[in-house]
Amino acid sequence: GAVVSQHPSRVICKSGTSVKIECRSLDFQATTMFWYRQFPKQSLMLMATSNEGSKATYEQGVEKDKFLINHASLTLSTLTVTSAHPEDSSFYICSAAGTGTHPYGYTFGSGTRLTVV
Amino acid sequence: AQTVTQSQPEMSVQEAETVTLSCTYDTSESDYYLFWYKQPPSRQMILVIRQEAYKQQNATENRFSVNFQKAAKSFSLKISDSQLGDAAMYFCAYRGLVGSARQLTFGSGTQLTVLP
């Protein structure tokens, strides 16, 4: 079945530095990638949607200059948290749709726990 | 905009018993998809069951079944013969068919505890 590999699973970084999170589709072409943020015991909140080769569409309230999304190929999308601060600490999950995925649902990565100290 | 509401933040069930998780949604669309996802402590999102709105028959996957009431915009999940491994956060989700509606909209989740 369709698999999305997300790395790293955990990362700790210092305040002011940048962190890159990668999501790779292993056996399908991810034409669309969704990036979510999840706080403890809360639901998934959509941050942005990206289509391969196009600029990402950000949800209201999400800073596009802080959360840089690149979807330059059909198998790789990245989320870079720039100048991270403690309030950016959260769980980030990607979800992909494309050829080879389930026709109705989307395939999720395993998530990245970001801690900014 | 579509909204999904889960009114039960926490539920518990005795092992081997049956539990029903509630979900309501709001949409002006006539065709769409509904899902239940499970998120165990590992936080990996796992698709439990899906329902196409155009289908009147309720979806079933082994011990999991749904009660889909389109007119009432209700989509509940029934777990039969509950097992310890069913303990997780359960999210109800809506997905439209076209454009930005293709994104998944999640409910707030129901934390299910299975008691031995």
Which residue from B minimizes the CA distance to A57? Answer: B100
Q: Does B43 touch chain A (CB under 8 A)?
A: yes
Mean pLDDT of A88-117: 86
Q: Considering chain A, what is the average pLDDT of its residues?
A: 91
Instruction: Select from A43, A93, A105 the Cβ nearest to the Cβ of B107.
Output: A43
Residues of A in contact with B106 (CB under 8 A): 43-44
Q: What is residue B85's predicted lDDT score, i.e. its pLDDT?
A: 97
Q: Are A17 and A78 in contact (CB under 8 A)?
A: no
Residues of A in contact with B42 (CB under 8 A): 110
HEC string of B36-99 equals EEEECCCCCCEEEEEEECCCCCCCEECCEEEEEECCCCEEEEEECCCCHHHCEEEEEEEECCCH
Please report which confidence band the pLDDT of residue A50 belongs to, taking 50, 70 and 90 as the band edges.
very high
DSSP, residue by residue, A42-109: S-EEEEEEEETTSPPEEPTT--TTTEEEEEEETTEEEEEE-S--GGG-EEEEEEEEEETS-SSS-EE-
Task: Report the distance separating Cα B90 and Cα B45, nearest Å.
Answer: 9
Mean pLDDT of A60-64: 94
Residue B8 has pLDDT above 60, yes or no: yes
Distances, alpha carbon B31 to alpha carbons A104, B27, B36, B102, in Å? 12, 10, 17, 12
Residue holding tokens 């309720």?
A: B58
Task: Report the distance separating Cα B94 and Cα B78, nearest Å.
Answer: 18
Q: Does B94 touch chain A (CB under 8 A)?
A: no
| Of B103 and A112, more confident | A112
* Chain A residues within 8 angstroms (CB to CB) of chain B: 32, 34, 38, 41-44, 46, 49, 57, 91, 93, 95, 97, 102, 104-106, 108, 110-111
Q: Classify B102 as helix, strand or coil.
A: helix
Q: What is residue A105's predicted lDDT score, i.e. its pLDDT?
A: 66
Q: How many CA atoms lie within 13 A of B89 on its CB side?
A: 20
Under an 8 A CB cutoff, do B47 and A111 touch? no
Q: What is residue A103's predicted lDDT score, i.e. its pLDDT?
A: 58
pLDDT digits (tens, 9 = 90+) for B37-95: 999 999 999 999 999 999 989 999 999 999 999 999 999 999 999 999 999 999 999 99
